[in-house]
Every structure is written in structure tokens, then in C-alpha cells.
A and B are shown apart, each in its own frame.
Chain A
Amino acid sequence: MSAYVIKRIILLIPMLLGITMITFALTKALPGDPVYTLVGERSSPEIVEKVRKEIGADKGTMRQYIGYVSLLAKGEMGRSYYTNRKVLDDIKSRFPKTLALAAMAMIIAVPPGIGLGLFAALRKGAVSDRIISTASMIFISLPVFWSGLLIMLFFSLSLKILPPSGTGGLRYILLPSLTLALPALATIIRVTRVSVLDVVNMPFIRTARAKGIKEKSINMLHIMKNALIPVLTVIGLDFGSYLNGAVLTETIFGWDGIGRFTMEGIIKRDYPVIMGCIIVGTVLFVLINLLVDVIYHYIDPRVRLHGTDR
């Protein structure tokens, strides 16, 4: 078990190198010269050269990359070209806000998602099942930026019960996390439903019923325990989609988290910020997937963890 986890973590290193390479190549290929964005188009050549030296843009691409990786190895991510603040510090201060958003979205999405999925599966073909299935398909198809606007219109502009934007306590977090939760909720409903339908027809359910076990405990103990495994994968993968969705939701609702920070970095061509955000996001995504794999093992001992399964 621990050998498996260690192996996966060691495999993370080439993966991280690959990620830094891709993001570095991306930022190097960006149009526009950050030096000119910093000092303005009409500065004297001496100032331009001085700033170029300061941010290290005068060295070759390979040396810049090596410099960046060795900086990362020391646990640093460089400084923002604009605010001259350490990128890692900025990410650290914003990260809890995005995490709070994701956690709140999960609280909104996971329990009702599993509940409604189970409910729909046990009434397969009935009107309630069709309504739930259709509604979940609609929620998957709504563009996040548009449903966010609708939610904002309804709750803050028409009902005037919650603030439309800003960062803060519970009153501020509800609307963006609801926006983030809707597609996740819909996906969880769909996956739970399919997964429960798979399990319901298994022989061991028939056996349990033949033994006279109450329907309620069959649903809870026998069906749910087995049906939850694929649901868990989706919840793990959803974390990645929260990072995606966070870029849009945080921009709309003015939530001061990583998503908005990334977007600002992109608009200002602030390379260290863009790279820092993408690297942190991706590492998190990979780690969550590892965690899901490990949790699998505890829920379902049939899942053997060794080697990299493809």
C-alpha cells in the first residue's frame, strides 16, 4: 500500500517536469514583451535593458527554464512582474478562498446528487426518474458563465437577499458555490443512477432479498456501498472541473481566489503568475486523483493497487 503511494509520488516528478515544460513553452510563446508592458512602449533603451536584466529576460530560453525549475525546487515561484510580490505568497493567500468555494460547492452537490441518483435509479422509468434525468442533462448543458448570471439576477437583483459579488463570509460564498455546484450535481446524479442500476441486477442483491433482508438495508448496505465507487471517481475528477469553473465563476462573482488571479495574470501577461497558478492547479488535480485511488482501496478491497494501471 505505502509502496504504491510512494511509487505514485515518485512518478509525479517527471510529470511535474512535463507540466513546467508545457507551461513554460506556453508563456514563452505569448505575444508581447513583458519588459515593454512593465516600463511602457516609449521608455529609453537603457531602462528597457536594465529591467530586462532585472527580470532575467536577457538570458537564453534554456537558461531561463533551468533557472525557473531550480527556483521551483527551492519552493519558490518567483515574483509577479507587476506587484513584485512573491507569486507563492499570493497563491497561498488566495488558495483558501478557492478551497472554501470548492468545499461549499461539494457540500451543495454531493449529498443531494447521490440521494437523487439513488432515488431515480430505484424508480427507473417512472415519471420522477425521467424528470430527474432530464433536469440533470439540462444542468450539464448550461454554460457556467450564463447560469452564474441567472443565479445572480434571481437572488441578488430580483430577490435582493444576497450580494451579487465580492469576497467574504457565508453570504458571499453561496451564489458562486451554487453556480459551481450545478454541473457537478447533475454529473453525480447521472453517474449514481447508472452505477446503482448496474448493481441492482447483481446476483448478491437477489440473494440478500431472498434471505429476507429489509429493502431499506439492501438499498443502504448492499447497493450503495458497491455503487459508490464510480461516483467517487467522478467526485475526484470534479475537483478538476472546480478549478476550471473557478476561472469563470470567480471572474463573474468577483471572488478573490486562484481562478480570478489566473485570469488577471493572463490579461496582464504576468508569466510567473500564470505558471504558478497552472502548476499549483495541476499538482492539486493529480494529488486528488491519487487520493481517490487510495480511498478506493479502503471502500473496495477488490481494487488492488500496484503498478500503473492503464
Chain B
Amino acid sequence: MGLTGKISTCILACIFFFSLISPAVVRYSPDAIDLDSIRQPPSFQHPLGTDNKGRDILTRILYGGRISIGVSVIAALLSMGIGLAVGMLSGFIGGKTDFLFMALVDLILAFPSLLLAIGVSVLLPPGIYTVMIALSAVGWASFARLMRGQVLCLKESAFIEAARAVGCGKIRIMFVHLLPQCVPLALVMTGLKLGGYILTESALSFLGLGAQPPTATWGSMVSANRAYINSAPWMVFPPGIIIALTALCFNLLGDDLREKFDIGSRHDLKKHV
């Protein structure tokens, strides 16, 4: 792993760690309204200032991180799971199943992704599960495409032929021989795409389709405070910076992974959710 990869991992670990332990260390409650201290600039009491309801910005960012990162990671893993299953079935069975699955994949990749994610998330009442479902409903297609390619490639290799020759059943070949060969690639691809998931998650929260107020998420913090960008910039800058920083670290880490494992063609650069 290169130097940038190591640095990004460290920063991400810090963000994860502090978000995770936030309930144990912060003095304030993220949603407690304190009308005596509204829109205060950064100070010793409030390192990043307070918002227009007197809530501590740092506390809200830490709590928001639990949701924003959690939702993105779970959605990425869900996409990976669905993509892995569909891609493997499609590649292994072939024929009509393959044709139908790939037609569906093509169809989903044909949609401008954020539009489709918005479309899916208005179906369900706004909330974190809705965002997870919307992200994975859009995201699984590119995983399925990659996994299908991998299985098509592996299917012809000698060890699968050998497994077939000694009488392994189809199910055994799929689970015991093909799956372990596909999972590492799928995990690397997940790492590559996490930056995109973070950005889409925050965009959906920004549009008000994610967790509802008073719950803090990074995207909704930018959205709720954006009217004060000129008069109270400390309310808008920190959540935006933390989204950008997290996405940047995931992207740099993904770049490292891409170089190491040599996957994700250039055409794929733009295909994150």
C-alpha cells in the first residue's frame, strides 16, 4: 500500500473511531435544543460553534457520521451481496437466465443513477433504511456485471474442469470453488465504490429523503444550515468538509486498491453511484 493509501486509512480510522465512541465522550446531546446559545461561533465550550437551535455542531457531526458512514457501508455491502449472487448465477448458468439478468443490469445502468436512487427513495417513507435500499437498488448492477465477467473467465479454467471431472455438483462448484475466487474482487470493488456511496448518501439526505430531523446526518446538516452560509459559515463548512474528506480518503484508498489489484477499467471511473 502506498503512502497516500496509508494516510487515508489512518484518517478514515480516526473518523470511524470518534463517530463510534461519540456517545461516550461528548458533553452535549446531539438533538438537545439550547436557545441560550444559538448560532455561537467556535469557542472552548463549542469547538465548532452551535447551529440555529443551539445544538453543538461537533457533536452533531460525530453522531451524523454514525449514520452517514453506517448507511453507506451497509448499502455498499448489500449491493455487493446482490451483485455477487446475480453475477455468479448469471455467469454460471448462462443462457436465458444470463440474458434476462444482464438485460436488467443494462437497464439499471442506463438510468442516470441519482435520478433512479431518488425514484426508489420516494417510494418509502424517508429514513435511513430508505436510503440504504435506494443506494443498493442502484448500486448492485455494476457489481453483477463485474462478477459475471469473473465467473465467465473462471468457468473455463482448469481447476473447475478438474472439479467437474471428479464429480462435484453444480452447487458445490459454485460455493466451494467459484465463490472464494470472487469474494476478494468483490471486496476490492466495494472499497473502490465507497467514496461514491458516501457522496450519494449525503446528496439524498441533502434533498431531505434520508433520516428526518432532528436526527443529524452530514448531508441534512448542510441542507438545514445553508441559509446561514454567509452569516454563520461555521454551521455549513464542517459538515461539508467532513463529507469531502471521507469521500476523498475512500477514493484515494480505492485508487491504491485499483493499482494493486488492477481492476475497474477506466470506463468504470464514472460509474460510481
Residues of B near A285 (CB, < 8 A) are 110-112
Say whether B32 faces chain A, with CB atoms less than 8 Å apart.
Answer: no
Please tell me which one of the listed residues B120, B229, B247, B269 contacts residue A141 in the complex, with CB atoms under 8 A apart. Answer: B247
**Chain B residue at minimum C-beta to C-beta distance from A192:** B266
If A149-B236, A247-B118, A278-B119 touch, whether A143 touches B243 (CB-CB below 8 Å) is: yes
Please tell me which one of the listed residues B115, B203, B230 contacts residue A243 in the complex, with CB atoms under 8 A apart. Answer: B115
Residues of A near B229 (CB, < 8 A) are 149, 152-153, 157
If A31-B125, A143-B244 touch, whether A281 touches B223 (CB-CB below 8 Å) is: no
CA distance A266 to B208 in the complex (A): 11
If A31-B125, A234-B269 touch, whether A243 touches B102 (CB-CB below 8 Å) is: no
Binds B, one of A21-29, A41-49, A211-219, A299-307: A21-29
CB distance from A110 to the nearest CB of B (A): 14
Residues of B near A137 (CB, < 8 A) are 248, 251-252, 255
Please tell me which one of the listed residues A23, A142, A152, A245 contacts residue B119 in the complex, with CB atoms under 8 A apart. Answer: A23
* Chain A residues numbered 208-257 whose CB sits less than 8 Å from any CB in chain B: 230, 233-234, 237-238, 240-241, 243-245, 247-248, 251
If A146-B222, A282-B111 touch, whether A234 touches B119 (CB-CB below 8 Å) is: no
CB distance from B272 to the nearest CB of A (A): 9
Q: Is the CB of A143 within 8 A of B112?
A: no
Residues of B near A310 (CB, < 8 A) are 102
Residues of B near A14 (CB, < 8 A) are 103
Q: Is the CB of A233 within 8 A of B267?
A: yes
| Number of residues on chain B facing chain A (CB within 8 A) | 47
CA distance A31 to B130 in the complex (A): 13
Q: Is the CB of A143 within 8 A of B269?
A: no
Residues of B near A233 (CB, < 8 A) are 266-267
Q: Is the CB of B112 within 8 A of A241?
A: yes
**Chain B residue at minimum C-beta to C-beta distance from A195:** B266
Please tell me which one of the listed residues A30, A145, A244, A281 contacts residue B122 in the complex, with CB atoms under 8 A apart. Answer: A30
What is the total of A-B residue contacts with beta carbons within 8 Å? 138
Residues of B near A230 (CB, < 8 A) are 266-267
CA distance A26 to B247 in the complex (A): 29
Q: Is the CB of A149 within 8 A of B248?
A: no
If A18-B107, A149-B236, A195-B266 touch, whether A143 touches B199 (CB-CB below 8 Å) is: yes
Say whether A150 faces chain B, with CB atoms less than 8 Å apart.
Answer: yes
Please tell me which one of the listed residues A23, A145, A153, A269 contacts residue B203 in the complex, with CB atoms under 8 A apart. Answer: A145
Q: Is the CB of B248 within 8 A of A190?
A: no
CA distance A285 to B111 in the complex (A): 8
Per-position 1/0 for B112-128, Cβ under 8 A of A: 11111011101111000
Query: Which residues of chain A have a CB within 8 Å of any CB of chain B?
Result: 14-15, 18-19, 22-23, 26, 29-31, 137-138, 140-146, 149-150, 152-153, 157, 187, 190-191, 194-195, 230, 233-234, 237-238, 240-241, 243-245, 247-248, 251, 262-263, 266, 269, 274, 277-278, 281-282, 285-286, 310
Q: What 8 A-B pairs are tightest by C-beta distance, nearest first?
A: A146-B240, A244-B114, A141-B248, A141-B247, A243-B112, A237-B270, A157-B230, A18-B107
Between-chain CB contacts (< 8 Å), 7 pairs:
A14-B103, A26-B120, A143-B240, A234-B269, A240-B113, A247-B114, A281-B112
Given contacts A149-B226, A251-B207, A263-B207, 13 further A-B contacts (CB under 8 A): A26-B120, A141-B195, A141-B199, A141-B248, A143-B199, A145-B219, A187-B269, A244-B115, A269-B122, A278-B115, A278-B119, A282-B111, A282-B115
